[in-house]
Structure 1
Amino acid sequence: MPELNDCVALITGASSGIGAATARLLARRGCAVAINYSKSRDAAEAVAAECEKLGARAFLTPGDVADDAACRRVVDETVAQFGRLNFLVNNAGTTKFVAHRNLGGLSAEDFQRIYAVNTIGPFQMIRAAEPYLRAAKGAVVNVSSVAGVYGTGSSLAYVASKAALNGLTLSLARVLGPEVRINAVCPGFVEGEWLKQGMGEAAYEAALANWKSNSVLQASNKAEDIAESIVFFLTSAPNVTGETLLIDSGIRLAMPRPR
C-alpha cells in the first residue's frame, strides 16, 4: 500500500460521515487533507484535529459547493496552503426526504437546490481543480448513491441528482484523461446520523433491518467502508476511470427480476 506523504487531498463535506472517514483514512497514510465544510465548523475542526493526531497536515476551508466562487476559493486556498492538489473527493451532498409517490411534496426549488449541491457542485469543484489535478496527474472520486442506479432513495429529486452525477462522471472521464482519473462510488444504506435525522428513528431502524435481511452479505455500510473504496480509487487503481462502483452488500442480487 503506497504511502501518501507527498500528496494533498481536498474533501468536500468532510465535517462528518463519509467525508470525515475519508479524511482520517488518507491522513493515516500520510496525505495532507483540506477539510471543506459549509456549516459545521466545530465538527470540521474536530476532524482536522484527528487527522493531525494521525501525523498528517490538515487545513480547514469553508465553502458551499453550490457557489462557484466558493469552489474556486476553496481550491485556491488549498493549493496556496499545500502547494499542490493530487486528489479531489466530491462528498458534499443534500436531499429532502419525500416519499416518491408524493409528487406534490417536491417543488422546482427543491430540485434546483439538490442539483446545485449534488450535481453542479462536483462539476464546479472539478472545473476549479482541473489545472492542478492535471499537473499532479491526480484523481477524483464523486460520492454518488445507489439511488441514482436503482431509482430508490430519499426523494425523486435526490435520485435524479445522483443519476446525473453518474452520467457526469462518465463524460468527465473522457475529457479529463489521460492526466486525471475520475470514478464514482455509489453507497447503499450508510449507518449514521444523516439518515437517522432525515428518516426519523423508527423508519431508520426499520430500513436498516430490511437492508440487512435482504442483502446477500446481510450487512449495511459504515462510513469507513465507503472511505476504503474511495481511497482505493484514488491510490490503487491506476488504469481505472469512468467507473461507478455499487457498494450495496449485494442487495441488487436479491432484487426481483422480471420473467
Structure 2
Amino acid sequence: MSNTLKGKVVLITGGSRGLGAATAEAFADHGADVAISYAASAGKAEAVVEKLRAKGVRAIAIKADQADLTVAKPLIDSVIAEFGKLDILVNNAGIAIQGHLVDDTKLDGDKYNRQWQVNVMGTIAITRAAAPKLTDGGRIIFIGSLLGSYVPFPGVADYTGTKWALAGYAKGIARDLGPRNITVNVVQPGIMPTDMASDVAGELPNREAILDMHPIRRIATLEEVAETVCFLAGPSAGYINGETVNIAGGLGI
C-alpha cells in the first residue's frame, strides 16, 4: 500500500464488479477512502466493501441505479454525509448493448435507448450533482471506451455514441471547472476481462481477429486500467486536463 491518495475520498460508480471493483481496490491500496455505487448487486457490493476495509480504509456501498436520474443528488449527499467531503469522482457505471446494425429491423429501440439513459444521462446527472460539492483541486475521471475514438467493426453505433458523448462532455466541463483546479479526463480501455465484455462477446466479430489488430496482442488487465485512473487522480497529474488516455495495446494507432 502507498499513501499517495491518503486523506482523499473517492466515489466510484458501478463499483460492485469488474473494472469498478478493481478500481476501488486500487484506490484503497493508495490510501483513499472509497464509496462505491451499485444498481442491483448488493451482495457483491458488500463483498467489495469488506475487501476495502481490510486494507485499512473507510468504505461504503450505496444503492443507486443511475438509469433513474433522481438518484444522483442523494448519492452525492450520502457520500458527503459519511465522509465529510468528496475529492474524486470516477464515472465508471455503464452498460454495453451491441451487435445490431442501425438498419436491423430486429433492433430493440427501448433497450438501446436505456443504454443512452444509463451511460450518458445518468452519468451527466451524477456529475452535475457532484461538481458544486467537489473539493477544489479535485478530480473527475470518466471511464470511456476505445470505441469512443476508433470503431473497427460494425454493430456498435449506439454504444460508441454514448462514449463519444461522454468524451465531449468531459472536455466541456474541464473548461468549466479548470478555475477551481479540478481536472477532468477520460480513460478509454479496449477489451478487458469483465462480465460485461463476456456478455457482448458473442455479438462481436471473431475475437481472435480482433486481437490480431492489436500491436500488443492481448487484452488489458483490470489492474493496468485501474492504476491509470489512480494516476490521473493523484498528485502527479494535476496539469493533465481535458485529455483521453487509450489503454488498448495500440489498437487504432
Same fold (TM over 0.5): yes
Q: How does 1:82-161 map to 2 (within 5 A)?
A: 82-100=83-101, 103-133=104-134, 135-152=135-152, 155-161=156-162
Match of 1:212 in 2: 211
Q: Shift of the alpha carbon at 1:194?
A: 1.6
Match of 1:184 in 2: 186
In 2, Cα distance between the equivalents of 1:169 and 1:99? Answer: 27
Does structure 2 retain, via aligned residues, the 8 Å contact 1:189–1:211? no
Asked whether 1:199 is paired with 2:198, we answer: no
Q: Percent identity?
A: 33
Q: Deviations 1:190-230 (Å, cap 9, x if unpaired)?
A: 12222112324xx77941x3343331122211222111111
Does structure 2 retain, via aligned residues, the 8 Å contact 1:185–1:245? yes
Q: Which amino acid aligns with 1:222?
A: T
Point out 4+ residue stretches in structure 1 off by more than 6 angstroms. Answer: none
Match of 2:9 in 1: 8
Does structure 1 retain, via aligned residues, the 8 Å contact 2:99–2:204? no
Q: Assess, with a 3 A threshold, how the Cα gap between structure 1 residues 105 and 173 changes in structure 2: closer, same or farther.
A: farther
> Relative to structure 2, which stretch is displaced further, 168-177 or 2-11?
2-11
Does structure 1 retain, via aligned residues, the 8 Å contact 2:102–2:157? no
In 1, Cα distance between the equivalents of 2:29 and 2:102? Answer: 44
Which consecutive residues of structure 2, in runs of 5 or more, have no partner in the other structure?
none
Match of 1:252 in 2: 252
Q: Shift of the alpha carbon at 1:94?
A: 0.9
Q: TM-score, normalised by structure 1?
A: 0.89
In 2, Cα distance between the equivalents of 1:144 and 1:10? Answer: 17
Which consecutive residues of structure 1, in runs of 5 or more, have no partner in the other structure?
254-259
In 1, Cα distance between the equivalents of 2:107 and 2:59? Answer: 38
Q: Deviations 1:13-42 (Å, cap 9, x if unpaired)?
A: 001111111100000111000010001111
Q: Shift of the alpha carbon at 1:2?
A: 5.2
Q: Assess, with a 3 A threshold, how the Cα gap between structure 1 residues 40 and 167 changes in structure 2: closer, same or farther.
A: same
Q: Assess, with a 3 A threshold, how the Cα gap between structure 1 residues 240 and 7 changes in structure 2: closer, same or farther.
A: same
Match of 1:222 in 2: 221
In 2, Cα distance between the equivalents of 1:47 and 1:104? Answer: 41
Does structure 2 retain, via aligned residues, the 8 Å contact 1:14–1:44? yes
In 2, Cα distance between the equivalents of 1:111 and 1:70? Answer: 21
In 2, Cα distance between the equivalents of 1:188 and 1:237? Answer: 22
Does structure 1 retain, via aligned residues, the 8 Å contact 2:3–2:31? no
Match of 2:242 in 1: 242
Greater helix proportion: 1
In 2, Cα distance between the equivalents of 1:126 and 1:169? Answer: 10
> Relative to structure 2, which stretch is displaced further, 124-133 or 110-119?
110-119
Q: Shift of the alpha carbon at 1:103?
A: 3.0
Q: Assess, with a 3 A threshold, how the Cα gap between structure 1 residues 103 and 148 changes in structure 2: closer, same or farther.
A: farther
In 2, Cα distance between the equivalents of 1:233 and 1:245? Answer: 10
Q: Assess, with a 3 A threshold, how the Cα gap between structure 1 residues 11 and 247 changes in structure 2: closer, same or farther.
A: same
Q: Shift of the alpha carbon at 1:99?
A: 3.4
Question: Helix, strand or coil: the match of 1:89?
Answer: strand
Question: Helix, strand or coil: the match of 2:62?
Answer: strand
Matched residues, number: 249
Q: Which amino acid aligns with 1:232?
A: F
In 2, Cα distance between the equivalents of 1:166 and 1:14? Answer: 21
CA RMSD of aligned residues (A): 2.0
Match of 2:36 in 1: 35
Q: Deviations 1:168-187 (Å, cap 9, x if unpaired)?
A: 11111111112211100111
Q: Which amino acid aligns with 1:123?
A: I
Match of 1:170 in 2: 171
Q: Deviations 1:222-255 (Å, cap 9, x if unpaired)?
A: 22211111111111310011101111101223xx
Q: Shift of the alpha carbon at 1:107?
A: 4.3
Q: Which amino acid aligns with 2:129?
A: A
